[in-house]
Amino acid sequence: MTELTTARWRKSTHSGNEGACVEVADNLPGVVGVRDSKDVAGPSLMFSAAHWVSFVEFVKDSSPS
């Protein structure tokens, strides 16, 4: 299990102030953490860095221009 005490969580600059966002910690070695911004003490999902890059590329390619 990855230690999250050094995680630096951030929201997208495209996020509004509605509070329905996810936060990402991409400063951890080899993994990327994802959590609900409304429940920062709640559970986090962990992805390998390679899987996260694939997911982000897929979302970018699937988004309307």
Quick check: 65 pLDDT over 70? no
Task: Give pLDDT, residue 20.
Answer: 73
Task: Give pLDDT, residue 54.
Answer: 95
pLDDT 10s digits, 18-58:
767 889 999 999 999 999 988 989 999 999 999 999 999 99
Q: The tokens of 19 are what?
A: 């509070």
CB 26 within 8 A of CB 57: no
Among 61, 7, 5, CA closest to 32: 7
What is the pLDDT confidence band of residue 1, given thresholds at 50, 70 and 90?
low
Record the pTM: 0.79
What is the pLDDT confidence band of residue 64, given thresholds at 50, 70 and 90?
confident
